[in-house]
Chains A and B, each alone.
Chain A
Amino acid sequence: MSENRVPEDDEGTVLFRVPLPKDPGALKGLAPLIIKHHYEIDYIHSYAQDSPFFAGLANQRLLGTRCGSCNYTYGTPRAHCMECGRPCDWVDLPQEGQIHTFTVCHYGSEEFLKETPYILALIEFPGVDTLFLTRVVGLDPQASSLDWIGMRVKARFRRLSTFRPTDVYFVPIGT
């Protein structure tokens, strides 16, 4: 092989012999070429100030935060208070609450399609000012009804943590 030539093989080739009109004037009529790109990446993601929440899930604890100044209590934690801007403290949330609203996802984004149908719900807790987004397990996804609102539910934790918010989910009390 001569040295001023890129070595070629057919690895990665998706199409051989692309037709091309000889007349440059006809090129505007050429059908668009559509190729497939692959794109994949691993992110190194820090949970940063939210980290205690995920460490809590791994220890069967559901953590929220409470503002040290105005006492506003967050069902989904944040390190600083939205109401007064002061730092919040970590607190244990009640592990029982009620369904505030819900849906049944029969489709989802690609990552979750294989999990459909799944039930999403926002949970309200007594004495807590904001809600918590979670999955509800143990209800029939085909039997969705507004009557599910107000249903009492309790937290359950995955035994093997994945360090994602789905390490906790909720089930109806009494099942």
Chain B
Amino acid sequence: MRPVYAVSGGVSKFARARPDLDFRGMVKEAYDYALTDLHLTPQHAREIVDGTICSYFSDHFTRQLKAGSMVQDYLGLCPKPGKRIEGGGATGGLAVQSGWEAVASGRFDICVVYGFETMSRVNTWKGNEFIALASDTNFDYPVGGFYSGYYAMMVVRHMKEFGTTVEQMALVSVKNHRNALHNPYAQKRREITIEDVRRAEMVAWPLTMLDICVMSDGAAVLILCSEDGLNTLHRATGRTPLPAKITGVGGGLDAMRMADRPHGEVILLPHERPEDYRGLKYPGVHSFRAGRTAAKAAYQMAGITNPLEELDFIELHDAYTSSEIQTYEDMGLCRYGEGGKFVEGGMPFMPAVDYGVHFPEQGRIPINPSGGLIACGHPVGATGIMQGVFALWQLQGSIRAHFGSDVLQVKNARRGAIHSHAGTGTYVVISILERGD
């Protein structure tokens, strides 16, 4: 396999609704930004791009089948090859990995990964219905029909099993909303407190409106290259972009129905021992076996044996505050059951941002410095690609150039991870990116 580099990206600001641009226009906005950052004109790009990966989740939201080919023609990239990737909430992360495969295999030297979602086209509760169709429509949808309900059941078991509290979950919301104050791409930029989260309207006990990400319209683009692709870019522009190398990819799946998850043994990461988990039935509904499987594979490929020590930041899929806490554990930042204490200690906060709370260990490993899904929004097909773009900018040290402020720049970021998650943990992908210099 050949080394693969992320070289440029763009995000069409996520918003509740973008009636001024359809999915093609939003992708074009993100694409043009990514090209401008490379000092590449669209005409030049037409000549040197080898192919594309298109990412969008729901045909129900889009109500335009084969929308990928419409994006391709709008970007002026016909007749180059491309394909659409779909895997629920993880669609964007899967698309980034498909782009990696296309370049690593030698098929493409320059690959454009683009994604979007247009969720404003129906009301929020109809949107929830569309999303819930990504649960078993024989046994789950007709009973619950509501993803927030599924996640609430999972965290209620986490609370029972490990003593996780609603205040610990609320801290995730405080962190992500507060980080987003410094991210102009974020949809929700708010200074909130634990009390605000708990006083917000209850959606599915114990999750309130502020524990849950919102629906969005938006698009994102990430451009991936081989070493030959970097040379081609250099010839076309006279410049060499500061790339981030993708050094690890991992993925995992689990049974669609939460009810079907086994109650067996924990899958261990290299820094864990079986005696850490005596008596714990795993994954049950409190943990994501697919997330752990993805982490294990990605870490192994990147040579990571202790993620807390060896990663500088993570952009992870916080569709719910609860799932951010569960994901700390799946990714081995702390042991299973310790996710609540992990956030309470301040570990996943930015070191220099004031959250109005005192933490003993603030900023050990910033998680979702961008504000994550909870604050940035979650236009599904764009989300995982957005994470890739923000991770690239962190590793380039270019957050100030793109955000207009370096408050969210993780200092000396050398290695980061992006994590994308679908269903109730049915598809999870994790990719590791490192400074390419």
Contact = CB atoms under 8 A, between A and B. Distances in A.
A111 B145 contact: yes
B259 A108 contact: no
A129 interface: yes
Nearest to B202: A106
Given A106-B201, A106-B202, A131-B259, 7 more contacts: A32-B20, A37-B63, A74-B260, A108-B128, A108-B144, A108-B145, A109-B131
Given A102-B156, A131-B258, A165-B139, A109 B201 contact: no
A111 B202 CA distance: 19
B146 A105 contact: yes
A15 interface: no
Contacts of A103: 149, 152-153, 156, 204-205, 207
A149 interface: yes
Interface string A132-175: 11110000000010100100000000000000111000000000
Interface string B35-72: 00000000000000000000000000001000000000
Contacts of B258: 122, 131, 133
Interface stretch (A2-10, A17-25, A75-83, A84-92): A75-83
A133 B143 contact: yes
Interface in B278-335: 285
Contacts of A113: 125
Interface in B248-266: 255, 257-263
Interface string B140-174: 10111110110011101101100000000000000
25 contacts: A47-B138, A50-B139, A100-B157, A100-B285, A103-B156, A103-B207, A106-B204, A107-B125, A107-B128, A107-B148, A108-B144, A108-B149, A109-B128, A109-B129, A110-B128, A111-B145, A112-B144, A112-B146, A120-B143, A120-B144, A120-B153, A130-B259, A131-B285, A133-B259, A166-B142
Complex A-B, nearest 3 residue pairs according to Cβ-Cβ distance, in ascending order: A109-B129, A103-B152, A101-B157
Interface residues of B, number: 43
Given A110-B123, A130-B259, A131-B285, A76 B139 contact: yes
Nearest to A51: B138
Interface of B: 19-20, 63, 123, 125-126, 128-129, 131-132, 138-140, 142-146, 148-149, 152-154, 156-157, 159-160, 201-207, 255, 257-263, 285
Contacts of A27: none
A50 B136 CA distance: 12
A112 B145 contact: yes
Contact of A105 (B20, B131, B204): B204
A58 interface: no
A104 interface: yes
B170 to A, nearest CB: 17
B160 A110 contact: no
B160 A109 contact: no
B205 A82 contact: no
B159 to A, nearest CB: 6
A76 B325 CA distance: 28
Contact of B138 (A122, A134, A165): A165
A113 B204 CA distance: 12
A113 B123 CA distance: 13
B202 A76 contact: no
A105 B63 CA distance: 28
Contacts of A105: 144, 146, 148-149, 152, 203-204
Contacts of B125: 107-110, 113
B403 to A, nearest CB: 28
A37 B62 CA distance: 13
Nearest to A106: B202
Contact of A107 (B131, B146, B259, B262): B146
Contact of A120 (B63, B149, B203): B149
A96 B362 CA distance: 48
Contacts of B261: 130
